[in-house]
Amino acid sequence: MVFVAVLCLCAAVAVGALGLWLLTRPRSDDPRRQILRAVAPTQLAAAVMLAAGGVVALAAPSGTGLLAVIACGIGAFGTVAAGCWQSAKVLTRTEAAATDADCAGSCAACALSCR
């Protein structure tokens, strides 16, 4: 169980460091970088979950520790996945609004194919 706890704590440090690094980067107009920066807070939340799972795995009996690691791992993965989904959704809406603005509100002036 010590190996699993240390692995969980190392993953927490890695995910947390990546989240902090992304937050310290300057804002960009690149959509990919915008999504990565928007996911950084959920990465920090996932790092806290993984760290909590690792600490419980070190301190609790093996059955409880294993359950905590599994629950925290699933929670961390789900948190980052939900953050990615929401960030991509917002970016898609923003790009769609910018594309609609290019048509100037007139179907005759629009160069886009019909939806």
Residue pLDDT, tens place only, 4-29: 999 999 999 999 999 999 999 888 88
Dihedral sign (CA 55, 60, 61, 64): negative
For 4, the token pair is: 């699993």
pTM for this predicted structure? 0.78
pLDDT tens string 50-104: 999 999 999 988 888 899 999 999 999 999 999 989 988 888 887 777 666 555 5
